């Protein structure tokens, strides 16, 4: 696994197109140079990215947690979030004499960098969702980036403006930040569906929120099935395995079964009766179900950290890439997207 598997996947992808299959040897040699020389040469430099979070008015948390910094702007009434990550976004023209190969490698590392920065921000988005029940997004109106250590003053200024006050909410958010690792694609996807479910519920789209909540649960079931190397099986046959593996109660499993039933009868397919009255009929049930959805998400994050499939916050991103580049490729590239006609 790791880099060798990543290189195999790259070659299979470009080998599947008539106009690029003759460039496979160029990709191999260029990628070998990248991991041997280019990435290690960038380990001493980092990008510091500042973004504002949407829907964050009144969330007055101030945090310094390794690669993630956060402070509330009273002037803008929103959270400002600073993230540290690898210097991978640009500067790839010289990795190959073939312009196409250099361009494609540059595209990959752009998306890889984007995924890493977003993962840190998603850690915080997940922590806020679990603490406040609020759905934030990293795509606000601010996006600033500087290279460290060249522009250390920008980082120092941001750090200096983080108040030392630690509220009870701050402590809860920090607790969740310690257990969420969105560099893991399954955790990343689970947070995505959870915050969408919260947002849709807030907007009154209960049937649609059921789909997202069930997608989150199914993502967790898929993660456990993959990690245990289990064959394909029906959702109900996974219940006992998931219950045992991440230590959730039978009551939680029962509520998740109820969620699946609502998805199948009202959301995934046209409803049989009472389509206009879904929210009215199942209001209390949905509240109970969403409590169990939150429970399984927290338990799954604990489970992921205890097994630590993907290391969070490495000292050297070049070494991290060698170990996880195959997983990163599957998370950021286009080879699994459907081709529309």
Which burial class, exposed, middle or buried, applies to 223 when counting CB atoms under 10 A from its CB (0-12, 13-18, 19+)?
buried
157 and 192 assigned to the same domain: no
Helix (H, G, I), strand (E, B), or coil: what is residue 244? helix
Q: Is residue 179 domain-resident?
A: no
Is residue 176 one of the residues assigned to a domain? no
Q: Are strands 143-148 and 46-52 parallel, antiparallel or unpaired?
A: antiparallel
The sign of the torsion formed by the CA atoms of 155, 123, 183, 29 equals negative
| Same domain membership, residue 20 and residue 81 | yes
Predicted confidence (pLDDT) at residue 66 exceeds the cutoff of 90: no
Q: In a 10 Å sphere around its CB, with 0-12 CB exposed, 13-18 middle and 19+ buried, how is residue 173 labelled?
A: buried
Task: Report the SS3 class of residue 338.
Answer: coil
**237-247: pLDDT as tens digits:** 999 999 999 99
Structural domain includes residue 178 = no
Residue 330 belongs to some domain of the structure: yes
Reading the block at residue 130, the tokens are: 């679990």
Based on the fold, state whether residues 231 and 202 are members of the same structural domain.
Answer: yes
Query: What average pLDDT does range 165-182 have in this prediction?
Result: 93
Residue 266 is part of a domain; what is its CATH number? 1.20.120.330
Quote the pLDDT of residue 226. 94
Number of domains in the chain: 2
- Residue 286's CB is within 10 A of a number of other CB atoms, namely 22
The answer to whether residue 174 sits within a structural domain is: no
Residues 130 and 15 in one domain: yes
H-helix segments, the chain: 3-15, 24-33, 39-41, 99-132, 152-160, 168-179, 185-202, 206-228, 235-246, 250-262, 278-307, 317-332
Amino acid 129: pLDDT: 98
Question: What does pTM read for this prediction?
Answer: 0.96
Residues 219, 303, single domain; the answer is yes
- 1 and 146 inside one domain: yes
Q: Which helix (H) or strand (E) holds 96?
A: none
- pLDDT for the residue numbered 164: 86
pLDDT at 173: 97
Average pLDDT over residues 246-265: 96
Mean pLDDT on 128-148: 96
Q: What sign does the CA torsion over 181, 185, 188, 193 have?
A: negative
- Kindly write down the DSSP assignment for every residue of 256-301, as one continuous string: HHHHHHHIIIIISS--SS-GGGHHHHHHHHHHHHHHHHHHHHHHHH
Q: Are residues 293 and 329 in the same domain?
A: no
Residues 43, 116, single domain; the answer is yes
Average pLDDT, the chain: 95
Residue 172 lies in a domain: no
Confidence class for position 77, pLDDT limits 50, 70, 90: very high
Of 72-76, 106-110, 163-167, which has the strongest mean pLDDT? 106-110
Q: Are residues 190 and 292 in the same domain?
A: yes
Same domain, 150 and 216: no
Residue 80 lies in a domain: yes
Distance CA 219, CA 203 (A): 24
Q: What does the chain come to in residues?
A: 341
- Residues 214 and 247 grouped into a single domain: yes
Annotate 58-86 with b (16+ C-beta within 10 A) or e (fewer): ebbbbbebebbbbbbeeeeebbbbbbbbb
| 21 CA to centre of own chain | 32
The burial class, CB within 10 Å (0-12 / 13-18 / 19+), for 241 is middle
CA distance 67 to 64: 8
Domain containing residue 95: 1-167+312-341
Separation between Cα atoms, residue 85 and residue 64, nearest integer Å: 15
Q: Assess whether 120 and 144 both reside in one domain.
A: yes
Is 28 domain-assigned? yes
**Mean pLDDT, rounded, for 99-119:** 98
User: What confidence score (pLDDT) does residue 87 get?
Assistant: 97
56 confidence band (pLDDT: 50, 70, 90): very high
């Amino acid at each position: 696994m790791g880099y060798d598997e990543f290189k195999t996947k790259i070659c299979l992808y470009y080998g599947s197109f008539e106009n690029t299959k003759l460039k496979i040897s160029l990709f191999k040699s260029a990628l070998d140079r990248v991991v041997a020389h280019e990435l290690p040469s960038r380990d001493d430099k980092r990008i510091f990215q500042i973004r504002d979070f949407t829907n964050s008015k009144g969330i007055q948390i101030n945090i310094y947690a390794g690669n993630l910094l956060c402070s509330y702007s009273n002037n803008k009434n929103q959270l400002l979030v600073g993230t540290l990550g690898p210097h991978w976004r640009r500067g790839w023209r010289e990795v190959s004499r073939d312009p196409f190969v250099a361009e494609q490698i540059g595209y990959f590392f752009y998306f890889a960098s984007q995924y890493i920065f977003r993962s840190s921000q998603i850690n915080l988005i997940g922590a806020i969702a679990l603490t406040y029940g609020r759905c934030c997004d990293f795509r606000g109106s601010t996006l600033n980036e500087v290279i460290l250590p060249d522009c250390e003053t920008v980082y120092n200024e941001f750090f200096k403006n983080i108040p030392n006050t630690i509220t009870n909410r701050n402590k809860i958010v920090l607790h969740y930040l310690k257990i969420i690792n969105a560099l893991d694609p399954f955790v990343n996807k689970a947070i995505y569906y959870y915050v969408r479910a919260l947002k849709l519920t807030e907007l009154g789209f209960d049937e649609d929120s059921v789909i997202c909540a069930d997608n989150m649960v199914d993502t967790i079931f898929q993660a456990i099935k993959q990690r245990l190397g289990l064959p394909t099986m029906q959702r109900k046959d996974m219940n006992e395995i998931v219950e045992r593996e991440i230590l959730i109660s039978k009551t939680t499993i029962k509520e998740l079964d109820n969620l699946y039933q609502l998805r199948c009868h009202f959301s995934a397919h046209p409803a049989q009766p009472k389509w206009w009255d879904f929210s009215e009929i199942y209001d209390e049930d949905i509240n109970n179900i969403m409590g169990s959805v939150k429970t399984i998400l927290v338990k799954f994050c604990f489970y992921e950290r205890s097994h630590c499939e993907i290391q969070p916050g490495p000292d050297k991103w070049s070494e991290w890439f060698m170990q996880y580049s195959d997983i990163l490729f599957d998370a950021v590239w286009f080879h699994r997207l459907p081709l529309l006609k």
